[in-house]
Amino acid sequence: MTPPDPTWRVVTSSVRGRSHALHDRPNQDAFGAIQTAAGDLPVIAAVADGHGDALYFRSGVGAELAVSAALEALQQVVASGSRAPDARIARAVVGAWRRKVSAHMASVPFKEDEIRRALAQTRGPPADFSDDPFLAYGSTVVAAILTAPWSYYFQVGDGDILVVDPSGRTSRQFPPAEDYDGDATLSLCLPNAELGAQTRWLDHTACPTPEMILLCTDGYAKSFKSEADFLQLGPDYVALFQRLGVEGVAQELPRYLSYATENGSGDDITVAIVTRDPAKAPASASASASASGVNETEVRSRASGRAPGRASPRDGLDT
Amino acid sequence: MGSTGFPGGAMARRPLHFIWIVDCSRSMMGKKIQSLNAAIQQAIPEMRTAARSNPGVEVLVRAVAFSSGARWHIAEPTPLEDLDWPEVNADGHTDMGRALQLVAEALHALPGHGLPPVLVLVTDGQPTDNFKEGLDALRAEKWGEKAVRVSIAIGDDADRNVLRKFIGNAAVEPLDAFSSGALVELIRWVSTVVLGQAAGDLKLPEKTLAPPPATSMETADDDVWRAS
């Protein structure tokens, strides 16, 4: 039976892929989350995967900006208090990303040797970065909002969202992309990227509030032998949270992900898990009332290990 | 939790299927088939090295030999660490279409998601059966259409228009081998560079191959396969 006023926690982690380590390339995933009031809803979480090929020579930054843009745009969705058209949300996320990329380029202009190195290592016809500078920042983004009455799921490019319902059933929010295979993906850097966004609203009066939401970059799913093996993550993580507690899972998560990249895809792997805390008592009414306005705990962290801002370990946020 | 003690079910590296499609017709007799056998055998250690650059990928090799009819020469998808190249002999016609049909049947059995396979067609002649039927069967398969398709044309008599149809990409020409040295070099390039690129993490949909090596006709070999 679901306890009243359950406490909600977010656990995140990211590991560099075995292949990237072999080639001395950095982890180019990013992750972040926003939680209004410790333990409470709404929660917004996002992960992103920079493309990593020589052509996308700032895709690590692109991934970080993708997380930032998704959190910013989805925070507006929550603040509006009403359901916005999916197309408008998609334009908001992509538009925010492009603005952030433009600002980054303005403050850190491309250097000649950056472009020269990229073109020297790139297959195919040379890219014209003066025409299409966003290419260098290419990234995917996967995000979710969980509120009490509804949840929302958003994705551009590859990556996965698993939802576990109160009965323990695990499902994908979006099917794997059929048109792209191997490592090809849609990307925020492509023209009209918003048209390729996948979106879904879930009304919790029509279906149960999820027990757990797991966002991950594509390196995790690609580590498993089959779809069923990947979906097994749902019940396994629920069991782990019950057995080890949120802090225990947060501590073990890097080891789980490292095992996956070593024995599976070899890719960077990043996860953000939104879960009911099976151990914490419900937050008391007096604690909530004492907060002056919204007390937002915001963590935006890049997997490279740069220190997050305003992280609160109490909320189980992990870097 | 599975038997590993880690969340999730069984894990596996991503399979990349690499299929040689080799011409064993009568015209390949002698130095051509000897060079082909030697080149593929010599390329195996370099394939292993190329594959190690992508530890999340498991390369699985098979081979079809075609002459009068076509047959699996290496029928089971074979990991590189277990791969050895049994020599092929040459005799008979050039049933290239039948070879492509065999490959199409194999690709039909592959799971729905994964890395696109690499298909390498090596020939010195023209098909003697219904090539179009075989190519249509291949391209009707999802993995046949999405495969990285490369061809090596040995000598002057290889039908390059047929090979262009097999490749199916106007930007990519058949590779020309006019000597045994050139054949060895091109086999090595296909085995390593193409394999490495197919296994690598190119993110956007357009996979474009790096340019092949320039192969000079001026070799010390006495086996130049070009009309004087």
pLDDT tens for A51-103 read 987 788 999 999 999 999 999 999 999 999 888 899 999 999 999 999 999 99
**For residue B32, what is the enclosing H or E element?**
helix B31-52
Phi and psi of B119, rounded to 5°?
-115, 125
Query: Per the domain annotation, does A310 fall within a domain?
Result: no
Q: How many CA atoms lie within 13 A of B193 on its CB side?
A: 14
Q: A296 and A34 in contact (C-beta within 8 Å)?
A: yes
Say if B168 is an interface residue toward chain A (CB within 8 Å).
no
Strand ordering across the sheet containing A43-49: A198-203, A150-156, A141-146, A43-49, A29-36, A296-302
| DSSP line for A113-179 | HHHHHHHHH--SSPP-TTT-GGGGG-B-EEEEEE-SSEEEEEEESS-EEEEE-TT--EEESSPPPSS
Tell me: pLDDT of A300 over 60: no
A117-136 mean pLDDT: 74
Chain B closest CA to A250's CA: distance in Å? 13
CB-CB: which of A52, A180, A261 is closest to B205?
Answer: A180
Q: Quick one: how far is CA B4 from the chain centroid?
A: 36
pLDDT class of B209 with cuts at 50, 70, 90: low
pLDDT class of A290 with cuts at 50, 70, 90: very low
Residue B64, helix vs strand vs coil = strand
Nearest alpha-carbon partner for B159 in B41, B25, B17, B39: B25
CATH number, residue A91: 3.60.40.10
Chain A closest CA to B194's CA: distance in Å? 12
pLDDT class of A126 with cuts at 50, 70, 90: low
Instruction: Specify the DSSP class assigned to residue B101.
Output: H
Chain A residues in contact with B116 by the CB 8 A cut-off are: 181-182
Chain B residues in contact with A264 by the CB 8 A cut-off are: 11-13, 56
**Tokens 């969202």 appear where?**
A161
The distance in angstroms from the start CA to the end CA of chain B is 69
Counted across chains A and B, CB pairs separated by less than 8 A come out at 125
Which residues 241-300 on chain A approach chain B with CB closer than 8 angstroms?
256, 259-261, 263-267
Nearest alpha-carbon partner for A59 in A20, A4, A2, A112: A20
User: Contact A232/B53, CB-based, under 8 Å?
Assistant: no
Tell me: pLDDT of A315 over 60: no
Tell me: pLDDT of A294 over 60: no
What's the farthest any 2 CA atoms get from each other in chain B? Answer: 69
Chain B closest CA to A64's CA: distance in Å? 17
Q: A246 and A312 in contact (C-beta within 8 Å)?
A: no
Chain B closest CA to A229's CA: distance in Å? 4
SS3 content of chain A, % helix, strand, coil (to 5): 35, 25, 40
At how many degrees (to 10) do helices B160-167 and B131-140 cross?
Answer: 10
User: Contact B8/A52, CB-based, under 8 Å?
Assistant: no
Closest alpha carbon within chain B to A121: B210
User: Contact A240/B1, CB-based, under 8 Å?
Assistant: yes
| Alpha-carbon gap, residue A229 to B129, rounded angstroms | 44
User: Contact A240/B57, CB-based, under 8 Å?
Assistant: no
| DSSP line for A249-271 | HHHHHHHHHHHHHHHS--S-EEE
Q: For chain A, what is the domain count?
A: 1
| Alpha-carbon gap, residue B220 to B119, rounded angstroms | 30
User: Contact B56/A266, CB-based, under 8 Å?
Assistant: yes
* Bond into A235 cis (ω within 30): no
pLDDT tens digits, residue range B127-185? 999 999 999 999 999 999 999 999 999 999 999 999 999 999 888 899 999 999 999 99
CB-CB: which of B9, B54, B210 is closest to A228?
Answer: B9
When mean pLDDT is compared across A216-230, A270-284, B6-20, the lowest value belongs to A270-284
User: Contact B56/A23, CB-based, under 8 Å?
Assistant: no
Beta bridge partners, A30, equal: A48, A302
CB-CB: which of A22, A51, A265 is closest to B203?
Answer: A51
Query: Per the domain annotation, does A34 fall within a domain?
Result: yes
**Tokens 């990947």 appear where?**
A230
Q: How many CA atoms lie within 13 A of B175 on its CB side?
A: 27
Chain B closest CA to A136's CA: distance in Å? 12
- Residue A82 or A48, more confident: A48
pLDDT tens digits, residue range A2-38? 444 579 999 999 999 998 888 888 999 999 999 988 8
pLDDT class of A304 with cuts at 50, 70, 90: very low
Phi-psi bin for B99: left (phi > 0), alpha (psi -120 to 50), beta?
alpha
| Strand blocks (E) in B93-189 | 118-123, 148-154, 175-177
User: Contact B203/A18, CB-based, under 8 Å?
Assistant: no
User: Contact B11/A125, CB-based, under 8 Å?
Assistant: no
Closest alpha carbon within chain A to B206: A184
Which residues 205-244 on chain A approach chain B with CB closer than 8 angstroms?
222-226, 228-230, 232-233, 236-237, 239-240
Tell me: pLDDT of A1 over 70: no
Say if B207 is an interface residue toward chain A (CB within 8 Å).
yes
Which residues 56-75 on chain A approach chain B with CB closer than 8 angstroms?
56
pLDDT tens digits, residue range A168-193? 999 999 987 654 455 567 899 998 99
The interface pTM score, or ipTM, of the predicted complex is 0.81
- pLDDT of res. A249: 97
Q: Which domains does chain B have, with CATH numbers?
A: 22-208 (3.40.50.410)
Chain B residues in contact with A18 by the CB 8 A cut-off are: 55-56
Residues 6+ apart with CB under 8 A from A134: A98, A101, A188, A189
Query: Per the domain annotation, does A32 fall within a domain?
Result: yes
- Cα angle B144, A172, A227 (rounded to 5 degrees) comes to 50
Chain B residues in contact with A63 by the CB 8 A cut-off are: none
User: Contact A17/B56, CB-based, under 8 Å?
Assistant: yes
Beta bridge partners, A161, equal: A215
Q: How far is CA B90 from CA B24, B87, B130, in A?
A: 4, 10, 20
Query: Per the domain annotation, does A287 fall within a domain?
Result: yes
| Alpha-carbon gap, residue A186 to A305, rounded angstroms | 26
- pLDDT of res. A133: 87
| Alpha-carbon gap, residue B161 to B185, rounded angstroms | 23
Query: Per the domain annotation, does A2 fall within a domain?
Result: no
Beta bridge partners, A212, equal: A164, A275
Q: A240 and A249 in contact (C-beta within 8 Å)?
A: yes
A195-211 mean pLDDT: 94
Q: Average pLDDT, whole number, for chain A?
A: 83
User: Contact B12/A232, CB-based, under 8 Å?
Assistant: no
| Alpha-carbon gap, residue A162 to A312, rounded angstroms | 25
Residues 6+ apart with CB under 8 A from A96: A68, A69, A70, A72, A73
Which residues 75-134 on chain B approach chain A with CB closer than 8 angstroms?
113-116
Q: A269 and A217 in contact (C-beta within 8 Å)?
A: yes
Beta bridge partners, A49, equal: A29
